Amino acid sequence: MLTDTKNESYPGKCNILTGTHRIRILHCPDNIGGQPANLARVERELGLDSISVSYGSTDFGFADDRLVWENGTPVWLQELKRWQLFVKSLLYYDIIHYNCGKSILNWGSLQDDKNRFIASLKWLYANINMNIESRLMRLGRKKIFVTYQGSDARQVAYCKENFDISMFGETALDDDVLFTDAAKQRRIAVFNTFADRIFSVNPDILHVLPSHSKFLPYAHIDLRDWDFKGIRANNTDPVKIVHAPSNRQMKGTGYIEKAIEKLNGYEFDFEYRTIENLEQQEARGFYEKADIVIDQLLAGWYGGLAVEAMALGKVVVGYIRDDDLKFIPKAMKEQIPIERATPESIFDVLKRLLQQPKSALAKKGVDGRKYVERWHDPFEIAKFLKNNYEGKEDN
C-alpha cells in the first residue's frame, strides 16, 4: 500500500492565482502509465506543491504519491472517499489536473456492466456528478487542466471511418460501441466547458478533441534512472527482439507473431520474446537485454514502452500515422527515430533490420536516446506545464 509523501477560468484565459503560498496542484484521479505521478514529482523539484492521487493501484506497478482507496474497497466506501477528495480539491488546491479523461466525481467506467440498464444508470449518475463538479470548480475559480491518454477519447466510429489502419479494424459498430463513443463525446464536451487547457499524449485523438487542445509528450520516466544500455557489441550473439503488448488486439500482436514465424524460415540469428503481465521494473530487465523492441502496429503513434526502449538505446519498431503528425512540433516530426512498420510491412522491416550489422543498429539506438532526451525530458515538460499553470506563454 502506498501512502501520502507529505509533500474565473475558461479556455484561452489563463489568469492564475499567485498568492504567497506555492501553487498547489492535484493530479487525479488515475496514474495512467505513471505519467501523472512522475510529473507531480518533477513539479515538486521545480518548487510547486504538487501531488498525484489515484483510485486504486495500477496493474503495472507505477508508484503513486497516494492511493485514495485500495483495490477491492467496497463501492460505498469508494464513493465516500471520492467525495472527500472532491471537497479537499475545492478547499485546498489551486490547480486540478485531470488524467485519463475522468473527473473526480465521475463514477465507474463508461460501460462496465453487461446489464445495459445498470450501465445507463451509472452513466446518468456520472453525468450529473460531472456537471456538479464543473460548476463548483468554476465557482471556486480553479485552474483546470485535462490530459487525455488514448482510449479515454479514442472513438471507434471515427477511427473506422477516417483511418486506413487502426486498432478497431475488426470491431463491429454495434449498440454497445456506439453507446461508449457517445459517452466519450459527452465527457469531452463537459470538460470543454470548464477546462483551461486540454492536452493529449497521443496525436490521433486530437482529431476528436476540442480545437484548442494541444499535444503533450510522454513524461512518465526520469531519465536519470534510465541509463543508456545500447545494442550489445558482441556480433556473435543473436539479435534479441521483444514485444510487450498491454492489449494484443490493440497492439497488433497477431501480425507481429506471423512475421516472426515467417522469419524463422530464414537463416537469421535472432531470439524473440513476448513480455506480458509484468510490472514495469520486472519487464525493464527484458528491455535492457533487448536489441529491437516492437511497440505497436495499429495505433499510429508510439507508447510509453517505446519511450523506455529508446531511453535505453534500443531500436524501436512501430506504426506512425502521417496524418496525425500535423499535431506535433515540426522539429519533433523530423527527428522521430522509430522504424516505421505496418501490419503488411512488419516482416520486411524486421528482415531489413536483421540484415544490418550491429553497428548500424547501435547508431539507431543512440539516435533514439538523443530523441528522448530532447522530447521526453520530464523536467522540460514540467516547465512547460508550470508556465501554463502560472498563465505564462506556452513556450
* 4 assigned to some structural domain: no
Averaged pLDDT for residues 104-122: 68
SS (H, E, C) the chain: CCCCCCCCCECCECCCCCCCCCCEEEEECCCHHHHHHHHHHHHHHCCCEEEEEEECCCCCCCCCCEEEECCCCCHHHHHHHHHHHHHHHHHCCCEEEEECCCCCCCCCCCCCCCCHHHHHHHHHHHHHHHHHHHHHHHHCCCEEEEEECCCCCCCHHHHHHHCCCCCCCCCCCCHHHHHHHHHHHHHHHHHHHHCCEEEECCHHHHHCCCCCCEECCCCCCCHHHCCCCCCCCCCCCCEEEEECCCCHHHHCHHHHHHHHHHHCCCCCCEEEEECCCCCHHHHHHHHHHCCEEECCCCCCCCCHHHHHHHHHCCEEEECCCHHHHHHCCHHHHHHCCCEECCCCCHHHHHHHHHHCCHHHHHHHHHHHHHHHHHHCCHHHHHHHHHHHHCCCCCC
Q: What is the pLDDT of residue 387?
A: 95
Q: What is the pLDDT of residue 255?
A: 97
What is the extent of the structural domain holding 36? 24-219+378-389
**279 and 139 within one domain:** no
**238 and 148 within one domain:** no
Residue 10 has pLDDT above 70, yes or no: no
Residue 11 has pLDDT above 80, yes or no: no
Task: Considering only residues 57 and 32, tell me which one the structure prediction assigns the higher pLDDT.
Answer: 32
Q: What is the pLDDT of residue 15?
A: 40
Task: Considering only residues 86 and 276, tell me which one the structure prediction assigns the higher pLDDT.
Answer: 86
How far apart are alpha carbons 292 and 287 in whole angstroms? 9
Residue 88 has pLDDT above 90, yes or no: yes
Task: State pTM to two decimals.
Answer: 0.88
**40 and 153 within one domain:** yes
**385 and 290 within one domain:** no
Q: Which of 102-111, 181-190, 286-295 is the least confident region?
A: 102-111
**385 and 368 within one domain:** no
**135 and 35 within one domain:** yes
* 17 assigned to some structural domain: no
15-43 core/surface letters (b: 16 or more CB in 10 A; e: else): ebbeeeeebbbbbbbbbbbbbbbbbbbbb
**365 and 250 within one domain:** yes
Task: Considering only residues 250 and 205, tell me which one the structure prediction assigns the higher pLDDT.
Answer: 205
Q: Which of 130-134, 147-151, 160-164 is the least confident region?
A: 130-134
**106 and 47 within one domain:** yes
**200 and 107 within one domain:** yes
**203 and 132 within one domain:** yes
Residue 7 has pLDDT above 60, yes or no: no
Predicted confidence band of residue 75 (pLDDT cuts 50, 70, 90): confident
Can you give the length of the chain in residues?
395
Find, among 83, 176, 188, the residue nearest to 127 by Cα: 188
**168 and 57 within one domain:** yes
Report how many domains make up the chain: 2
**229 and 181 within one domain:** no
Q: What is the pLDDT of residue 345?
A: 98
